[in-house]
Amino acid sequence: MTSISSRRLAKELMEIKNEGCPVGINLVQADDFSTWLFTIEVMGESLYQNEKFTLQFRFDQQYPISSPAVQFVVTEGRQAPVHPHVYSNGHICASILGNEWSPVLSVIAVCVTLQSMLASCKEKHRPVDNDRYVKHAPENPKKTRFHYDDDTV
């Protein structure tokens, strides 16, 4: 029996192929059910005009019950957006990727969420603990327990 994760991902992929991605989001690679890559741009006015980022999704067998591991790609000249919730190693501090993940979400929903996270950014800077975090960060961002809270900044 195929796993629930590959069944679901097959459906998501078919929907992407049939209906396309939302504006500013493009599927770059989805050759299997373990790693997908997208490019993401913010449309309209924003602090990220003319910047394009690559987003990596890694899925385990429990997807979509467990969240995908999502991060920006920072190899081969690609960089993570400078944003208060994005570390320079590409890891993202977003509650929907952690304790507020819900199987109701999909890969595209995550892309759109992150796109609007960038779109609404008011000041480009790294998280305050960037250097410390990056130095000790696990390879997989899902192994990090971020502390989420109201943005009072």
Partner 1 sequence: MADNTESSSPSLLSNNKASSSGPSSDAPSLIEEHSNPPAGPSVITEDTGSPQSPSPVTCFSQTQLVDISTLSLAQNLLDLTADVQRPLIANVAPISELRAEYENGSPSFVQQIDYLQSQGYSSIIRARGDGDCFYRSVAFAYVQNLLHAPDPTIAVATALSTLEATTKLLESVGFEKMVFEDFYEVLEELVKSVVTPNASGSILTDGGLLETFQDPEKSNSIVVYLRMLTSAQIRLDPENFAPFLFHPELGEPMEIRDFCEHFVDATGKEADHVQMTALSRMIRTNVDVAYLDGRGSNGQVEFVKFQPDETAEAAASPPICLLYRPGHYDILVGPRH
Q: How far is the CB of 62 from partner 1 (least distance, A)?
A: 7
* 54 beta partners: 39
Please state the closest distance from residue 64 (CB atom) to partner 1, in A: 8
Using the 8-state DSSP alphabet, how is residue 91 labeled? B
Of 17, 23, 124, 125, the residue at the interface with partner 1 (CB under 8 A) is: 23
**125 counts as binding partner 1 under rule CB under 8 A:** no
Binding to partner 1 by residue 131, rule CB under 8 A? no
Q: Which residues contact 94 (CB under 8 A, 6 or more apart)?
A: 85, 113, 114, 117, 148
Stretch that binds partner 1, among 17-25, 33-41, 43-51, 68-76 (CB under 8 A): 17-25
Nearer to partner 1, 76 or 112 (CB): 112
Q: How far apart are CA 7 and CA 30, in angstroms?
A: 14
**Which 42-81 positions form the footprint of partner 1 (CB under 8 A)?**
61-62, 64-65
137 CB-contact burial (10 Å; exposed 0-12 / middle 13-18 / buried 19+): middle
Number of residues that bind partner 1 (CB under 8 A): 57
**27: Cβ contacts below 8 Å, ≥ 6 apart:** 16, 21, 36, 37, 38
Q: Which residue has the tokens 């993202």?
A: 92
Give the footprint of partner 1 on this chain (CB under 8 A): 3-4, 7-8, 11-12, 15, 21-23, 61-62, 64-65, 84-85, 92-96, 98-106, 108-109, 111-113, 116-117, 120, 127-129, 132-133, 136-138, 143-153
